[in-house]
Chain A
Amino acid sequence: MRGFAEPYSFPTAVDSANLLGRLFDFDVVPNGLLIDEAGVIRFLHVGGFYLSRTEIRQQVDALLTADFAAGERPAFVVQEPLELETIRGELAHRPDDPDLLLALGDALLREDRARDAAAAFERAAEQRPDDWSVAFALGTALRRAGDRADALRWWHRALELDPQNFTVRKQIWREEHPELFYPTIDTDWQREQLVREGYRR
């Protein structure tokens, strides 16, 4: 991918907790997102955003050089992630608030406390039993805690809630069929598996 990015530089981050997926509620990749100098989201494209395609790269170039009228917004409005103590203080007043419980889980994951994070996400799942992203977050925390069986159970639950979710589906595949992902990715198997599973997009 690095070759596609010339002349721009970039770092690569790992979003194993699916924070971006929850913020934007996307269920597929690759996606493109542009944030302007003032921190405003100017462009979001979910799915099929392949940088290997010339027309996509041209679109990115255009976005990076476009003249956005940033208006009078303050420079980059920063919303700090909530700290654990702040979240706990808020939870004392709103113990069942699912957003607070999700924030608690995220904060605990940042401290590598996966088991505690899973407990927080499980409480969030009780409040939002039909939200695939909460089930997915719970599964991800459990997997990080080493509880593979329960992680898979929650990821399958997430897929039940959102049957066309490509991200969840692939996470399950990778866990259940690691030999098809390492050391090389068997894309033929993935194409055939999508047909077997009746995936339509």
Chain B
Amino acid sequence: MAATRHPLTEGDVMPDLTLPGVDGQPIRLRDFAGKRLFIFMWASW
């Protein structure tokens, strides 16, 4: 039986993520630990 998914929302702890930067270098959320972080999600199209 498939597990239920719970989308993250306000109040949840953000899991760590690693995404490639535009220069190819990895960007890790954990590198921003202790800082306030605003993430803007957009698309070029």
Contacts and interface: CB of A to CB of B under 8 A. Distances in A.
A13 B40 contact: no
A172 to B, nearest CB: 11
Q: Tell which of B9, B30, B42 has the most Cβ of chain A within 10 Å.
A: B42
Nearest to B18: A81
Classify chain B's interface size. Answer: 35 or more
B41 A20 contact: yes
Interface stretch (A33-41, A85-93, A135-143, A144-152): A33-41
Interface of B: 2-3, 5, 7-22, 27, 29-30, 32-45
Interface string A55-98: 00000100110000000010111111100000000000000011
B38 A32 contact: yes
Contacts of A131: 5
A1 interface: yes
Classify chain A's interface size. Answer: 35 or more
Given A15-B19, A44-B10, A97 B3 contact: yes
Given A31-B41, A127-B2, A37 B36 contact: yes
Nearest to A133: B5
Given A32-B38, A78-B33, A41 B9 contact: yes
A47 to B, nearest CB: 10
B37 A81 contact: no
A14 B14 contact: no
Nearest to B44: A185
Nearest to A19: B17
26 contacts: A12-B21, A12-B22, A14-B21, A19-B17, A23-B17, A24-B7, A29-B41, A31-B41, A31-B42, A32-B39, A32-B40, A34-B36, A35-B37, A37-B35, A41-B9, A41-B13, A63-B38, A79-B13, A79-B15, A81-B16, A99-B5, A110-B18, A127-B2, A128-B2, A131-B5, A174-B45
